[in-house]
């Protein structure tokens, strides 16, 4: 789900990657001389050496901007209290501290960022049981654990109009304006995780539910509900959210097959076979 990969080290940077970045940052120019090409290549290579600490700083800026632009459920609301109860034992993933908030909107979505920020939409909570919500959260945390979110953010950052600013700051993170953060957000929304990344996150969510004493059938049930809503989704973000995912039917079948192999019985009310 939204708010996708990128070379792990500068040693793996190839000429084709650099040229791709050059095309992305200079496609509006009708003519380019060799000097501008070399300058652009230098900026691209410099930007691709961006450190994890810089990425975390940019992510923090983006999350703060996102929280400011959305209506966040107050701590005493039923949504915030429910989410706090569901996530009370979830402190960190791979050393990254987790923090949770609810966005008050009828949209059906949830996302996690590389800094451990997890945001759940009230529209999703309205349609899910506690265990189903937790399954979706597990899936999103899976993207953090697998570094999908960090790579997605880095990729969006470096292929956006912010490339020059990122490259020029050297070893420090630039302070991005609200306009820049808004453009970055658009880039992130349009970015997509691969189907393999989504499938791996599904498996993480399955194991996440089991490790927290929950029935992993709940994840398949959550997918079933999302699938039922998918065809009628015109403005709640579901169509875009599902555009890069494996088919809902396959996801349900995969989770159900794992449950059956492990002899896990479906909970009361489960209509899956």
Task: Write out the catalytic residue numbers.
Answer: 140
CA distance 66 to 70: 6
CA 131 → CA 209, 212, 219, distances in Å?
8, 10, 8
The order of strands in the sheet holding 117-121 is 99-103, 117-121, 110-112
How far, in Å, CA of 256 to CA of 273, rounded? 8
How far apart, in whole angstroms, are the C-alpha atoms of residue 72 and residue 1? Answer: 19
Answer yes or no: are the C-beta atoms of 128 and 136 closer than 8 Å: yes
């Amino acid at each position: 789900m939204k708010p996708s990969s990128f070379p792990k080290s500068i040693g793996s940077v190839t000429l084709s990657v650099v040229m791709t970045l050059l095309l992305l940052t200079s496609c509006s120019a009708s003519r380019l001389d060799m000097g501008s090409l070399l300058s652009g290549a230098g900026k691209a290579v410099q930007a691709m050496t961006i450190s994890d600490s810089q990425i975390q700083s940019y992510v923090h800026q983006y999350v703060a901007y996102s929280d400011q632009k959305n209506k966040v459920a107050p701590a005493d609301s039923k949504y915030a209290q429910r989410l706090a109860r569901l996530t009370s034992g979830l402190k960190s993933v791979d050393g990254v501290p987790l923090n949770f908030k609810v966005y008050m909107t009828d949209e059906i979505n949830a996302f996690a960022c590389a800094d451990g920020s997890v945001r759940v939409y009230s529209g999703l909570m309205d349609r899910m049981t506690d265990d189903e919500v937790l399954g979706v959260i597990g899936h999103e945390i899976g993207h953090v654990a697998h570094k999908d979110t960090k790579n997605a953010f880095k990729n969006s950052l470096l292929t956006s109009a912010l490339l020059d600013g990122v490259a020029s700051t050297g070893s420090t993170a630039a302070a991005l304006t609200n306009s820049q953060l808004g453009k970055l957000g658009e880039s992130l929304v349009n970015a997509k995780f691969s189907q393999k990344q989504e499938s791996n996150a599904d498996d993480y969510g399955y194991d996440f539910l089991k490790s927290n004493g929950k029935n992993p059938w709940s994840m398949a049930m959550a997918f079933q509900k999302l699938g039922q809503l998918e065809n009628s989704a015109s403005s709640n973000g579901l169509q875009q959210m599902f555009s890069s995912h494996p088919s809902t039917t396959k996801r349900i079948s995969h989770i159900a097959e794992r449950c059956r192999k492990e002899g896990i019985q479906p909970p009361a009310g489960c209509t899956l076979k």
